[in-house]
Amino acid sequence: MAYNIPIKINNSDHDKSLAITKAELIKNVTTKKGLHYCHECNGIVKLYPRKFNAGMAKTLVNMLKVETSRQDLLDDKGYMDVQAVFARIFKVNANRLDYSRPKVWGLIERRERLWEEKKMKNPPKVAGMWRLNEYGREVAKNHIRIQKTAVIFSPGDVLVGFEGEYITIANAFKDPFNYEELINKPVEGQKGGDTYDCDKKSDESDRGKAE
For residue 4, what pLDDT band results from cuts at 50, 70 and 90? Answer: very low
Q: What is the mean pLDDT of residues 140-150?
A: 95
Residue 209 burial by CB count (10 A; 0-12/13-18/19+): exposed, middle or buried? exposed
The structure's pTM equals 0.74
Judge whether residue 209 has pLDDT over 70.
no
Judge whether residue 49 has pLDDT over 50.
yes
Residue boundaries of the structural domains of the chain: 14-184
Cβ-contact 188, 73 below 8 angstroms: no
Q: What is the mean pLDDT of the chain?
A: 78
The residue among 21 and 59 whose pLDDT is bigger is 59
Cβ-contact 21, 163 below 8 angstroms: no
pLDDT digits over 168-194, tens only? 999 999 887 899 999 999 888 776 555
Q: Parallel, antiparallel, or unpaired for β 44-51 and 80-81? A: unpaired
The residue among 12 and 166 whose pLDDT is bigger is 166
Judge whether residue 210 has pLDDT over 90.
no
